[in-house]
Amino acid sequence: MYISMSRLRLPVAQVPELLEAFRNRAGLVDTAAGFVDLEVWHSDRDPGEVIMVSRWRRRDAFTRYMKSDDHKVSHARITPELKAVISLERLDHLHTYDVVAT
């Protein structure tokens, strides 16, 4: 199994809008080959931090989705105003991991 973790930082005032966007997401990824699940985590210590974690059967399923039209469509649903206030958190923006134990 393969994990992609995107760590996002944004002003606390815009966090509810981002979480609402995730709750109302198009769900296109759900039908992508090799997709397992997606969770969005909100830090309880640092309210401007939101983490998106998606799990995949294998790495190539993830990389294929990232190049897909479905991925472009999903991102296009986020308003430019919201995109403008979201920044990458250090190098943690996009980390990928193998799941080695459960």
Alpha-carbon gap, residue 69 to 63, rounded angstroms: 13
The span of 46-54, 63-71, 73-81 binding a second copy (CB under 8 A) equals 46-54
List 14, 22, 71, 74, residue binding a second copy (CB under 8 A): 22
Residue type, 60: D
Task: Select 22 or 68, whichever has its Cβ closest to a second copy.
Answer: 22
Q: Which residue has the tokens 């944004």?
A: 10
Under the criterion CB under 8 A, does residue 60 sit at the interface with a second copy?
no
- 49-56 sheet: strands from edge to edge: 49-56, 2-9, 87-88
Residue from 9, 25, 64, 71 that binds a second copy (CB under 8 A)? 25
